């Protein structure tokens, strides 16, 4: 199987390395990386239309077939992989991540990680988005990613949407297991907050997401994470919804 790996945090992101290491542990697959050259969070499925893109082959810290950076968005990376780099033999699936921070609730709509996976669906292959809690240990993710990948790759092919995986940042011994078929919660996990700096001609604003403290209803992705479960659910592509 040819697996295309991408992300939205950039080619040098730790999460991309960890996701690639987990995929490499499955051994029987051919891994390709096409990832943004720079940080591209919250770009959803934006693509580049009127500007040139710079593509560069990279040395990657994990052994892969080939790795590239692209001066574009996560969705650009998937499109370039399918239509240019791997046009002679397309990927069989897309892994996107591992994102620095959850992609749950309304945040899914903004996510470049999810956007890249959605582009994989539009290219006609099963696609998976992986995210981890921000500013915490990756220990649980490192332990569980290979198992999660194996289980996901066994699932029947369904190109109506992606599998969205969120891993809590708790120590492995505190994780209560995996909850499947979680539905997106009806709020943003990271509520928007803008820090303002006044200037003579206006204001500079910086967005800082504040994690919700609101208890979410059972069955949702955020509730699973609040209870220290790995949350896995389907997110439908709007084209096929």
Going from the N-terminus, what domains does the chain have, and what CATH number goes with each?
Answer: 2-185+217-236 (3.40.1210.10)
Question: What pTM was estimated for this model as a whole?
Answer: 0.94
Mean pLDDT of 197-220: 88
Identify which of 7, 21, 158, 161 has the alpha carbon closest to the alpha carbon of residue 81: 7
Residue with tokens 């040098």: 12
**Is residue 241 over pLDDT 80?**
no
Identify which of 13, 179, 180 has the alpha carbon closest to the alpha carbon of residue 98: 13
Residues paired with residue 162 on neighbouring β-strands, in sequence order: 235
pLDDT single digits (tens) 172-206: 999 999 999 999 998 888 888 899 999 999 999 99
Identify which of 234, 220, 5, 241 has the alpha carbon closest to the alpha carbon of residue 120: 5
Report the alpha-carbon distance of residue 120 to residue 74 in Å, rounded: 11
Report the alpha-carbon distance of residue 158 to residue 156 in Å, rounded: 6
Using alpha carbons only, how large is the chain's radius of gyration in Å?
Answer: 17
- Contact assessment for residue 18 and residue 145, using Cβ atoms and an 8 Å cutoff: yes
Looking at residue 64, its pLDDT comes to 97
pLDDT single digits (tens) 85-131: 999 999 999 999 999 999 999 999 999 999 999 999 999 999 999 99
- Contact assessment for residue 118 and residue 127, using Cβ atoms and an 8 Å cutoff: yes
Retrieve residue 150's tokens: 């194996």
Report the alpha-carbon distance of residue 207 to residue 26 in Å, rounded: 39
**Is residue 5 over pLDDT 90?**
yes
CA 177: distance to chain centroid? Answer: 21
For residue 13, how many other CB atoms are within 10 A of its CB? 20
């Amino acid at each position: 199987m040819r697996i295309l790996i991408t992300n939205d945090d950039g080619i040098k992101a730790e999460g991309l390395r960890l996701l690639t290491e987990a995929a490499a542990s499955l051994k029987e697959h051919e891994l390709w990386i096409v990832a943004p050259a720079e940080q591209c969070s919250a770009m959803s499925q934006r693509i580049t239309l009127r500007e040139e893109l710079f593509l560069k082959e990279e040395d990657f810290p994990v052994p892969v077939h080939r790795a590239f950076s692209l001066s574009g968005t996560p969705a650009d990376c998937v499109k370039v992989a399918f239509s240019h780099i791997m046009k002679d033999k397309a990927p069989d699936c897309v892994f996107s991540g591992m994102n620095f921070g959850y992609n749950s609730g309304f945040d899914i709509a903004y996510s470049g990680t999810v956007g890249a996976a959605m582009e994989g669906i539009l290219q006609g292959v099963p696609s998976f988005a992986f995210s981890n809690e921000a500013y915490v240990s990756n220990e649980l993710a490192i332990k569980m990613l290979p198992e999660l990948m194996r289980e996901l790759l066994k699932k029947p092919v369904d190109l109506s949407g992606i599998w969205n995986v969120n891993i809590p940042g708790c120590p492995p011994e505190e994780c209560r297991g995996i909850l499947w078929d979680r539905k997106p919660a009806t709020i943003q996990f990271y509520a928007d907050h803008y820090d303002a700096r006044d200037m003579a001609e206006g204001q500079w604003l910086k967005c800082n997401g504040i994690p919700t403290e609101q208890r979410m209803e059972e069955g949702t992705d955020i509730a699973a994470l609040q209870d220290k479960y790995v949350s896995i659910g389907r997110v439908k592509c709007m084209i096929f919804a």
